[in-house]
Structure 1
């Protein structure tokens, strides 16, 4: 098998509300739009918001988004009145994380990788 591309598919209860959240509140850039859907850049990934969901997200699924500056991101989200599920903190595994959710309750984990974290080290050594 050979996989050439990927994206996360999100089926919101209210597509317009979710598109507005990801575009206007989180500020994700639009990769492409098509009738009934919008695809956003999420750094090196893609998030497609399309169709209509009924059940909403389950508690075992989340969206992980890396940010450059978690404190600055938290301040910007506060200015935009985005409810915070969990304030920024350093996790036992060394990442700095905070949690928010989208309009349907999908947990979004915002992550800053500190400069001294192993994820930033060249693994070829």
Structure 2
């Protein structure tokens, strides 16, 4: 059995500086660690219980099926902050039929990112028998 101790999503952007500005400044993700030098150096950001590493360079954008799911405490407040930061919102916050409040943005290479709020009354917050 594989015992995973940690994990991270690796992103190889077409323009590393532009992507670092997006994740570090526009989204305001905290830096976990940095490594290497030059424009293709690596930056690892905290993503709640995981990490996002932006490093290296790719000639083409990532696969179109790649998505990031980021849970936030207040998606409407995140929406306001991101609009002020100049981030293009693909879809503003909406309560989905499954009860979560979601909004969509994308990074500079087109990676679609969903910001999700779990409302107080959503079943995902409750664990029967615990």
TM-score (structure 1 length as normaliser): 0.95
Q: CA deviation at 1:16?
A: 1.1
Match of 1:23 in 2: 24
**Residue 125 (structure 2) pairs with residue 124 (structure 1):** no
The alignment of Structure 1 onto Structure 2 pairs a total of residues equal to 125
Instruction: Supply the RMSD in Å over aligned alpha carbons.
Output: 1.1
Other structure's SS at 1:51 match: coil
SS in 2 for 1:17: helix
Q: Which residue of 2 aligns with 1:75?
A: 80
5 Å matches for 1:23-62? 23-35=24-36, 36-62=41-67
> 2:90 aligned with 1:89, yes or no?
no
Contact 2:10–2:52 at 8 Å: present in 1 too? yes
Tell me which stretches of 4 or more aligned residues in structure 1 moved more than 2 Å: 122-125
What secondary structure is seen at the aligned counterpart in 2 of 1:58? coil
Distance 1:54 1:109 in 2: 25
SS in 1 for 2:81: helix
- 1:104-115 alignment, distance < 5 Å: 104-115=109-120
The normalised TM-score by structure 2 is 0.92
Query: CA 1:72–1:2 in 2, change beyond 3 Å: closer, same or farther?
Result: same
User: C-alpha separation between the residues in 2 aligned to 1:54 and 1:91?
Assistant: 36
- Closer, same or farther: CA 6–124 of 1 in aligned 2, 3 Å: farther
Runs (5+) with no aligned partner, structure 1: none
1:8 alignment partner in structure 2: 9
